[in-house]
Structure 1
Amino acid sequence: MTKADDKVASGDALPSGALREFLDVGCDWLWETDAELRFSWLSDNYREATGIDPARVIGRFRFDFLKAVLAGSRSAAAHLEDLQERRPFRDFVYELGGGKPECRWISTSGVPRFDAEGRFIGYRGVGRNVTAMADAFGELKGEGRERPPTTGEVDRDLLFDLQRTIDAMTMGIVILDADLRAELVNRAFYDIWKVTAEQVGIGDPFRALMDVNRHNGIYDVADDRWEIYVASRLTEIRAGDVAPREFRRADGCVMIYSVTALSGGKRLISYYDVTELKEREAELAEALEKAKLAEAVIDSVPNPMFVKDENLRYVLVNQAFADFFDTTPERIVGQTDASLVPAHEQGLFEDDERRVLETGEIYEVQTAHVRNGAEVYRIVRKNRVGSASGKAYLAASIFDVTELKRRETEAEEARQRLASVLESLPAGVIIYDRDDRFVLANRKLQESQPEMTAAWVPGSTLRQAMEIGHRAGYFRNSGDPALDALYDSDPEGWLDRRVALYHGPRRVSERRNPDGRWYQAYDARTEDGTFIGVRVDITELKEREQALRESMRENEVFRSLIDNVPVSIYAKRSDLRLFYVNKGWCDLTGVSKEEAIGKTDIEVFGADGEAFVAGDLAVLRSGETQEVEETVTSADGSVRHQFARKGAMIASDGSLYLIGSTTDITLLKQREAELQQAEQRAVLADRAKSEFLANMSHEIRTPMNGVLGMAELLSKSELDAKQRTFTDIIVKSGNALLTIINDILDFSKIDAGQLVLDPAPFSLAEAIEDVATLVSTRAKEKDLELIVRVEPGLDSMFVGDVGRIRQIVTNLLGNAVKFTDEGHVLVDVTGRRMPAGTRLTISVTDTGIGIPPDKLRQIFEKFSQVDASSTRRHEGTGLGLAITSRLVEMMGGEIGVESDEGKGSTFWFTVTLPSAAEQGARRIMPIDVSGARVLIVDDNAVNRSILSEQMASWGFDSCAAESGTEGLKVLVAAAAYGLPVDCIVLDYQMPGMSGLEMARIVRATEGLAGTPIILLTSVDQSLAGSSYRELGIDAQLIKPARSSALLETLVATIQRHHAVAMHQQQEGPAPFDDATPAAASPTQPVPRRAPATERAMLAPPPARPRPAVAEGEGLDILVAEDNEVNQLVFTQILGETGFSFEIVGNGRKALEACFKLKPRMILMDVSMPEMNGLEATGEIRRREEIEGTHVPIVGVTAHALKGDRERCIEAGMDDYLPKPISPKALAEKVERWLGGSADTQRRA
């Protein structure tokens, strides 16, 4: 059903009272079926009319309600045929069972329904109660009443009653005998056909009625068709029962007639005049159509509208109202506000709406609320309407006045702005009404003419203002000589003419006030006679006019200058006509200025100018500057390159112009081509340089491997002092050369953009301390104090390229040691948390020679040396700091230096690194160690500060002394107060009393002898075992001591001391903690326990599948190396391991030996003749896939470029070993993949 149908069907929800009246007259109820002809809907008044619950009918077929005697009748069959053929039907009458006694017989009419695609979707129609009519028929036929025993008297009474009953009926009835002659005619028959008993009476044939009706113009049948028509009608009557049918008379009346077969061949014909009913049905259809139209109109209204009944239930809403609640009209109809608005708003409308329904007064209110983030204003108007049946309804409409409110607000704001603008205008404004009375003068006008303030008061006139102005000397120079002549000679005449000017047409003039300032006056009268005067100060404009005249003279000079530049310049107006060209343009085109000015390119150049015009139009439309390089062939055949540029320009007056220029760039293009060739050569040279460096790296490292390897082996043999000195020189010189090579390669890779950072989790403190440990030997050789401080509280793990960070710190720390002869070197690490991570600042401060101010700016440039003289004391390539600077930049950080020449320098750099997850469990301070009292004895103030800071961060109670003497005093005082020191951290080398001397005194002093001592020594000051035992030193650490090692040593030492004390008190075994690190050996620092993750990384990789080798059988190591020197190195190193090995000269031989000798491990050189190591590895892996075996292969290469390791792994190798190869590195690789020495494996 459509929405209109739904609203009609809902009874009270009809759109108007008139429509309900039509329905009440035309039918008793409405109905609807689905496509299967089962009832799908009944109107509300069905129950009232029939007494049957609609729920019992919905879903059932009409024929389910027919009595058996009627279901098989001809009328039922005809009705069923109508339904099957989808034809409309009218007045199908049948007896209804199960209803009220007064509604046994009903009549239904219906029309088929089709959807938009033409598919049948059911019937829709009306129903009427015709029980009274049916009872009359029943009485006529003798049905519906039990007859008493037949007697003549009763029969006569019955016939009399029957005649009166039939006469009383409004339905026309005639009973025909077997010959179709009238036996009984009721009064309604005569009234319907408008005939008399004399014309058609008892005994007359039915043909007589038809002839009379024809004479009366009832039939619209042609004369030649009349007899045929009569015969067909008589045949139809004789045939028997005829279902009710419609007959439209020529006079417009509509009849429903039916034929009922009686006994003895008699026929009962009934006529029912339905003309009025038809008219009402037409009116109903029209009303329905109007209702649909009204609904469509209401739905098209953009303002929400609704109608409520007396119970405040929605009976009609339009689409805009439904959209307001994001639903459909069907879901709202029948509901109350409870289903639409929040609970707290439901009662806001009820009182007002009931008052409107009761009193009929119109209710209107403006509301404001926020919807979708914006403030919305609406006017709600509600009023009472009544239907024809007397029911009262509440009709409401909602108007969105947000835009109106916005405009009102804008209008008010505009008015205020106008007033503000009027007062803030840079021009004076004065207004007089049509009678020349003063209205307004803004502040600017009053300030410009202060002598006339008295003229601008309410009630004053324009003439009075002119009089005051005349006395003050205003308006003297008007520009009109005749008027100005009257100014002094005839003031009254001047006033008359002056006032008259203000009543004339719009007027613009200039005048000069007595103060010397110039004003332009704009005077006008509006249509209503209001005078408006505007006074603009044009003094500056006058001055600019003078300046413009000067500028025009300068412009002439500039034009001459432009004419003489070797560039073609032109300008066009918006219509693309040239209005300026310089001499260069004329020379380029061969067209004179006179021939070009005022013309378009098409007029100047003909068809060739069309392309120029198209380009010009594109520039003017887009507003974008167009640049293009052109190649032009001159008349002499030479090729000329030129650069053309043109763009749009808006002048100060708003005019649009096109400005263009053309420059001859032939020479520039030639130079550009030469530069491109030079660039290509430079690229090739750079590529050749990279290849050269890679090859040179290989070629240099290969012999260096032999030199360093043999030198290291030689150093392990029996040598005298002189030979050992020579060997050390070889090793140091070789390593120095490798450092230079690495610097050059690093800088080359950075310079070429080939260096890639490799971020990974790492321990910052360990990285810094590793570098400090490496440099500590050189520091001690120069008797320098090397100090490391890492700010407590910093995260221990970060993500970054730890190798490059170590390289940066090594470079800075190495330089600090190199350029410092005495004092100390401090590495200080601090950090500040940032959103992207921690901003780390690592500084290296020394007390060295410092840097001259003139060298600071270039200190980070390549090949830069503080001392560049040939006699400089310090060696170096000058690349270290340049590499360091570039690495810091790659990490997104900053690097800098501060120096005081002769006093020292501080190099610093910052990087921001994200924190990483802690590797392994955090150390938990044992309860019995927290708060332990630690005495620090060190002559260096920086060391004391750092150690004290560390102790505080670890939870110890520390005290620092600057000498052994002061330290002893602290020990004695603490013991006297009953606060003995739990441990002493003692520096070995101090002026006056050394660390050893203090330790001896402590051990010899009663009450102090048992105090644990941790000694901090340099690398060449480690105590021998006897001295260690003699002094009772609990632990010894090499400076700079790692913070982790110092903490573990402190904890272990204090725990051990407390455990001994507890044992002595309890005379039981000391409860040593297995997890506590043991004391260091006399000559070694306390080892650091690696976290679980670190131990996992250091463990050998899982064993790969390989064939089992029986004891004493098979080959341990196969070496593939083509260089004889390196073969000798491998022989010397592997010979000491006890493993069996075989050396081959190239990859092909390695491939053969692999499957013949079945080695447990292969050392594969990458660069070899015939078949290189990568190719040989690939072939070995392909064969192993077939056999299901796997032998570890370690790649050996002298290349030092990024990606060597990755190429080895991608080729199928398991590990990577760079040259030059040291015995230690090779031994570690062998132990990693074969696990221990050969002897150990054999014993196992």
Structure 2
Amino acid sequence: MTHTDDIDILRRRLEREKSARAQAEVILEKKALELYHANEQLQHLNEHLEQQVRDKLAELRESEQRYRQLIESVQDIIYKISPDGFFTFVSLSVEKLLGYSEKEFVGKHFTDIVAPGYRKMLIEFYQTMIDGRKDSTYNEFPVLAENGRIVWIGQTVRLIEVDGHVAELVAVARDVSDRRKAEVELQTTQIRLSSLITSLQSGILVQDENQRIILVNQLFCDMFGLSRSTQQLIKQDYSEAFAEFKSRIEHSEEFVQKALQMINDQVAVVGEVVRMTNGHILELDYIPICLDGRHMGQLWKYTDVTEKYIAREQIRISEEKYRGIMNNMELGLLEVDNDQTILRAYDRFCRMVGYSEEELTGANAKELLLPADFKPVLDQQQVERQQGNAGSYELQLIKKDGSRIWVLVSGVPIADQSGTIIGSIGIHYDLTERKQLEGELARAKQIADDARHAEKQFLANMSHEIRTPLNAIIGMSHLLFDTQPSRQQREYIEILKTSADFLHSLISDLLDMTKIEAGRIEIQARPFDLAGLLRSTQKVFEMKLQNRPITIDVMLDARITGTFVGDEVMLNQILMNLVSNAEKFTEEGYIEIKARIRKEEDSVHWIEFTVADTGIGIPEEKLDLVFQKFKQVNSFGHKHKGTGLGLAITKELVEIQGGTISVKSRAGEGSTFTFMLPFAKADSTSELVTKTDNSLPVGNELKVCHVLIVEDNLMNQKYITSLLTKWKIPFTLALDGKKAVEVAKNERFDIILMDIQMPIMNGYEATVAIRSTQNPNQHIPIIALTASAMLDHKNIALEAGMNDFLTKPFEPSQLMAMLQRYAPTPMADNENVVDEKHLIELYGNNPAYIADMIDTFVTEIVPEVLSLPAVCQRKDWTELARLAHKLKPTFSMVGLPLLEEKMQQLDKMVKEGTESSLLEIYCNDIATETSNMLPILKEEIQKFSQM
């Protein structure tokens, strides 16, 4: 190809490219034009849209302004609440009605303004509305205004849902306080009126204009024997009720006609007599009810006047009777002047005294007929007659044959026309037979009193005869527990001991009541710790109730502190009786003991005690029986063992001390016993009565104590000797009082246990003989052992020279306590103090560490020590062994060597299998002493902390 060809090709290519560019430019110009037109159209659309938006916004602003003006013009509160209960909007009227500003209100939770007591209800209301998708609801409730006043509002609430979910709640509320107040006042008036009518001592029935019953009280139903209740009769046609009791009215058809006539006349009728077939007589009052001249119904009032009618008839009959008597001269009439000269003697009086009228007329009644010892009575009556007064009196008259008769005289003064008293007339009624009957009754009463005295003596003797073998039964049951019985044998022994204890309780109740009725109970007033006594009662029953769902609490008046003077033993028995009674009838819940000072009179404090429980309660109609002897109130089929004397004894013990007792209870709602007693407040210098230490010696602590046992009953001999043998206490046995006196002359003893009732020589005589003669035992303690707990027996024992009194049946711990009290050897009476020297040797010169160790002991160890009695009570010997082994070294670590020794002894006793009663006593002793050391330990903590 030539060069020219190349140039042609290149030229044609250039021309094609130029043509293509020209076409492209045409296309671009066309596209640019289209784009320009599109842009013009878009700009036009934007301007149009912006104008629409401006118009809409203006319209919305205008609508919102109208909406807000509308809301603000409404007196009701309009608000919105979110689903979780917070206010999101509120109208300005909230400030006028409730005092809150809009800013204060929005953001609050609705429960913040609802009155307490209605918040839960309103929460449930809203929740129910949301859950049930209720479109609109209405309710009323009280709210708290900003100044704290209560405002009742009524609100209508609507749900606002978006996409199937509750978006908010919109409510309109208004103040309905005035209406609520008016409704309450109206309801109160209606209740008062209804209560007044229904509580009247008359049968009331009210009908409307259609003869339907709108009000009836229970007394109406009772009068006419209606089987339906008052509520069932409301709105019933009166004719239905009348058909039921029609047969109870005499001449019922005549009664119907009278009733219809009353309704037609519409005039009040009072005192219409209605006779019943059962003999009762009613008075009917009919009262029409009219309003603005329109008949609205009627009220029927029936009053039972049977007793009044009968009384009126009795008066009438009595008048006729005495008129007949007077007419027949059955009463002796005697007329005298002011000097007692007889003016006239009626025939009946003449027969009464055996004189004729001629013999009596002109004679002086005072000198002829009156014994000397009754003349002052007549003189006094004569003074009354001169003053114009009538009178009745009794005296004797001397008959003509010299015998005497008793007469009841009704004397009336006689006045002349000018009103001057000129004499008197006496109506005489022969009382001789009645006086003879009174004498016979007095003699019968004396015989009955003698019989009651014999009964009391019989009870005292029988209690003695029963207590003697009972002492051996209870004692031997204690000893049997120490013979390692099998499980079945232990169960039998438990039953035996429980039955014996119950029999002992019955006998004790009978004896207590016998002593009270015989007036042989005395008040022993001495200083004691009242608060401590109540706490002790609580502890006793806490251990007894530990396996039952019952709590026992004590609430004390803050003023009950220090020492009071009174009979501590008697108060303890009252509290134990009442709390035992509460525990007996309470399955679960609580028993509460309260004490508070009700009033103060000089040095006397009147203290009110209350024992309340959540037990089965007492029916109201049986409350009067609870303090009666031998009465048991059984509720809901409950029957408990006992004599029925416990509460009767309690009442007597309270009243003996000058107090009062009462009970309030309702069946199924528990009982509350309240008693009030006077106690003197002891001076600050007064000391508490020293009590027997509960901690008892064991092992060889009493081995030097030689005991003389004087007992004629074989079972009791075995019981007492077995105990002393087990305790390793040497003893000598004498079978009667004479042998005891002989033994006492030749051998010295430390204590003599002396039975009272024995053959040959009784305990009183033996004691007098030992005290009155020269012998080694002339001044040693002698303890009376007797089955009698009568106060006079105790006084005789003390007068005979005995030192103390142990009543059968007694438990091992009681005998040990008595031996401990009178044993000559010291009973570990060293005072517990913290051995600070030992602590410093143990921990060096580090007071903070010592304080920390004592504090740890108080907070961690002491609670375990105090639990020892409860562990013994439930007989958990494995746990007791563990605690004893664990706790014994801890006392040394805080400087308590004496308690450490006791803990070591307890550990040893548990390992040796010591009997349970002694273990329990020893645990109580350790717990008590540890509790007493707590204030000292806390002082040590404070002292070492400050060093």
TM, length-normalised to structure 1? 0.37
- Highest RCO, 1 vs 2 (Cα 8 Å, sep ≥ 6): 2
Greater C-alpha radius of gyration: 1
